[in-house]
Amino acid sequence: MEPAPLPLILLVDVDVDVDVDGSTARALRGELAGTVEFAETTAGDAPAFTSGTLGERRPTVAVLDQSVPAPAGLVHSLRPHPADLAVAVVAAPASETELAALPLLFSPDVVAQVRERTRPLPATVSHLLHALTGRRAHATAQAAAQQQLSAGSTTIGRQLGERLLGQFLTQAPIGALMLDGLEVIAWNRRAAETLELTETAILHRPLTDLFPAEERPALRRHLTAAVHPHTAEADAVFERTRSDGTSQALRVAAQQVLDADGRTRTLVLADDVTDRLHAQRKLAERTSQALLTAEVAAAMTEPGSLPERLHRCVRAAVDRLGADRVCIWTTDEYGRLSHTTCADSGDGPTAPNPCQNTQNHLAERVLTTLRPHLDAAPPTVDPHTASASGHGSFAGYPLITGGQPIGVLTLTTRLALPGSTRTTLENLADQIAVGIQQDRLLQRLHATTRALERPLLPPSLINLPGFDLAARYVPFGEGLHIGGDFYDAFTAPDGRHVLVLGDVCGKGPAAAAITGLVRHTLWTAAQHTTDPAYVLPLINRALRRENTPFCTLVYAVLDPSHTPARLRIASAGHPAPLLRRTDGHTASLAPHGPLLGVLDTPHHPISELQLHPGESLVLYTDGFTEGAGAHAQQEPEDLAALITATSTNGDTTSDDLVTAMLTHAYDRWGTQLRDDLAVLALTATASTSN
């Protein structure tokens, strides 16, 4: 049989002729010569030397020079393992921040940093190598002993039978007990310390007596399953209470052995894993709480109604915290508290009545004091058994934002509430409060927007006998954006119909105020006369008087008393109107005058034309030509071609034209659209007579 290979010292990017943090690589070779094998490699090739199954590789200590780029990443790629690979990293000022996380991930016996004044390289490598080979030897001995134990009739098995616990297990650093059936007949010193054993208390008594009643059935099954080693669990964790009242977690492994007389005994190895289990539970608890915080944040920012989003929050809290019931109460505009939503640990629908009947006064107390309230849980009704239960805890947290109370978060559970859970509930209350307040502000903004937009558009389009009229206004954004686009259509006292579509410079409430000024000035002027030469200068003077930003518009007067109907059109700095003829051909109209609100005495040319049956006039704002800013702008001729393409037959309606214009704008710019869209179309449908 060939001897095992020597441990390997892997020098990564180490220059043997240059000092490495105060100690040369040559000195390292001299100190460990004959006991190890050396190999030199680069950072890129180093992982090839450490391939293989973790724990079964050749014992190796990798030395990373301070010139190695991304040393922390290289450490991870080498896959350090306590049984076969350790790493010595030469610290450099440039990599100190990156290396700061290594002590959190690896023990000092697996990954160590080399610092010139406190830890020279040869000493560090020797320490790592000694720890590595020691662990390897211990693991090898344990494997051999386990193999012999499993054989049953080996030398070790007979020794256990003769002395119950031989020297190997008597001195073992893990608790060992020998059972006859389930009764304890021997134990080592470590087991006595771990389980607080005394001869009078446990000798010839079942091992299960050391554990609480709820753990005994599972432990009994685990111990008796050792008779069938191929089906039994290797180990399992059971919990008990120490004499001082603290909890203890033990990992228990059972193995069948034979004594000198051939009698079957059960060897039990018990390892105290309390700290590890608590750490795992704490990590799982914090992970669950972090996920809960993320779920609540996502729920409060997702689309949907506020009650739906709040229900997702309480559902997540029940699932993540293991609570029996979680509720949210909110206040109305008068400060009155009412139950909004809740969820419980059952799978069926949650009825709010138990909460309203039993927790209302507690929620009111939280809202009044504006302080968290912790108490024994009030009697609640189990949704599955309909029976009352008063065990557990109740917690209530005020929902406060901007110093104002807007609700209460309540939780009922049969378990005690640890401090970390209470902290999580406080954070959830803050998140939910902010979400509720944002939703309320959003609703107020929606209401304000609707109120401000109301003067921008007529309440309804007028009915024009012999004509088909359609209009559409689509504001930019999520319904909170107040644009400057507007349109109007009304019949003047002289029997003529006025059509107007415009765009005020600016956005928001200021633009809405100017729009209202323009619309009402225009309507008032048209009550006297519809003549564009009178109406447009009057609007211009009103804007100049108020010193407002400019306005563009198209003003059209339809006279239905003639056959065909007559149109008089004036444009004030607005995109050219489109006229669709009976043959479907569409062209942009020429009239174009200066903006309103800029010059003292502007002049606006007036165009006169006839509108025959089947012909259409289309007015639109610059959102259709410049909707994405400088990106992919369109000309009126492009829109004229669109109208022509839409007019495939004589049945094309004004609504068809409006829809085609909007569809084209969204298809062209999509999410890049950054402006409002307003369009008005008039189609003559029948001849009119004097």
Q: What percent of the chain has pLDDT over 90?
A: 27
> Residue 185: what pLDDT?
86
Both 491 and 461 in one domain: the answer is yes
> Residue 510: what pLDDT?
74
Answer whether residue 394 is part of any domain.
Answer: yes
Q: What is the mean pLDDT of residues 544-551?
A: 85
> Residue 104: what pLDDT?
79
pLDDT in tens, 33-47: 888 999 999 998 999
Category of 629 on φ-ψ map: left (φ > 0), alpha (ψ -120 to 50) or beta: left
Whether residue 21 is predicted with pLDDT greater than 50 in this model: the reply is no
Both 301 and 265 in one domain: the answer is no
Answer whether residue 2 is part of any domain.
Answer: no
> Residue 688: what pLDDT?
47
Both 138 and 162 in one domain: the answer is no
Whether residue 387 is predicted with pLDDT greater than 50 in this model: the reply is no
Q: What is the mean pLDDT of residues 521-536?
A: 93
Answer whether residue 281 is part of any domain.
Answer: no
**Tokens found for residue 627:** 């909707």
Strand-by-strand arrangement of the 325-331 sheet: 337-344, 325-331, 404-413, 393-401, 373-376
Both 437 and 545 in one domain: the answer is no
CB of 88 closer than 8 Å to CB of 128: yes
Predicted TM-score (pTM) above 0.75: no
Radius of gyration of the chain measured on its C-alpha atoms: 42
Answer whether residue 368 is part of any domain.
Answer: yes
CB of 11 closer than 8 Å to CB of 63: yes
Answer whether residue 3 is part of any domain.
Answer: no
> Residue 610: what pLDDT?
93
> Residue 209: what pLDDT?
92
pLDDT in tens, 77-129: 999 998 899 999 987 777 777 788 788 788 888 999 887 655 678 888 888 99
pLDDT in tens, 234-283: 678 999 998 888 889 999 998 888 765 677 888 899 999 988 888 887 88
> Residue 534: what pLDDT?
94
Q: What is the mean pLDDT of residues 431-455?
A: 76
Both 414 and 542 in one domain: the answer is no
Both 662 and 518 in one domain: the answer is yes
Answer whether residue 255 is part of any domain.
Answer: yes
Other C-beta atoms closer than 10 Å to the C-beta of 141 total 11
Both 472 and 414 in one domain: the answer is no
Strand-by-strand arrangement of the 247-258 sheet: 183-187, 175-180, 264-272, 247-258, 236-241
Answer whether residue 690 is part of any domain.
Answer: no
Closest CA to 184 of 274, 254, 261, 262: 254
Burial tier of 349 (Cβ tally within 10 Å: 0-12, 13-18, 19+): exposed
> Residue 348: what pLDDT?
52
Q: What is the mean pLDDT of residues 654-681?
A: 88
Query: What's the rounded Cα separation, in Å, for the pair 74 and 60?
Result: 15
Tell me which range, 297-306, 635-644, 670-679, is most confidently predicted by mean pLDDT. Answer: 635-644
**Tokens found for residue 344:** 């419980």
Angle (deg, nearest 10), helices 508-528 and 419-453: 20
**Tokens found for residue 630:** 């400088």
14 lies in which domain range? 8-143
pLDDT in tens, 155-194: 333 333 334 566 666 677 888 888 888 898 888 888 888 8
Q: What is the mean pLDDT of residues 406-412?
A: 90
Greater model confidence, 512 or 550:
550
Both 127 and 170 in one domain: the answer is no
In this structure, of 149-153, 382-386, 603-607, the range with the lowest mean pLDDT score is: 382-386
> Residue 608: what pLDDT?
93
Whether residue 390 is predicted with pLDDT greater than 50 in this model: the reply is no
> Residue 565: what pLDDT?
92
Total number of domains constituting the chain = 4
> Residue 418: what pLDDT?
77
Category of 632 on φ-ψ map: left (φ > 0), alpha (ψ -120 to 50) or beta: left
Query: What's the rounded Cα separation, in Å, for the pair 86 and 57?
Result: 12
Average pLDDT of the chain to the nearest whole number: 82
CATH number at residue 72: 3.40.50
Whether residue 481 is predicted with pLDDT greater than 70 in this model: the reply is no
Greater model confidence, 290 or 232:
290
CATH number at residue 340: 3.30.450.40
Residue finishing a domain among 425, 450, 475? 450
pLDDT class of 452 with cuts at 50, 70, 90 = low
Both 294 and 380 in one domain: the answer is yes
Both 214 and 131 in one domain: the answer is no
Q: Side-chain half-sphere of 105: how many Cα atoms within 13 Å?
A: 14
Residue finishing a domain among 143, 176, 200? 143
Both 441 and 483 in one domain: the answer is no
Query: What's the rounded Cα separation, in Å, for the pair 466 and 686?
Result: 5
> Residue 497: what pLDDT?
95
Answer whether residue 51 is part of any domain.
Answer: yes
> Residue 455: what pLDDT?
61
Whether residue 577 is predicted with pLDDT greater than 80 in this model: the reply is yes
Residue finishing a domain among 143, 163, 191? 143
CATH number at residue 243: 3.30.450.20
Closest CA to 456 of 553, 595, 559, 596: 553
Both 196 and 236 in one domain: the answer is yes
pLDDT class of 468 with cuts at 50, 70, 90 = very high
Which stretches of 302-418 are DSSP H helices? 306-321, 353-358, 360-369
CB of 324 closer than 8 Å to CB of 380: yes
> Residue 150: what pLDDT?
47
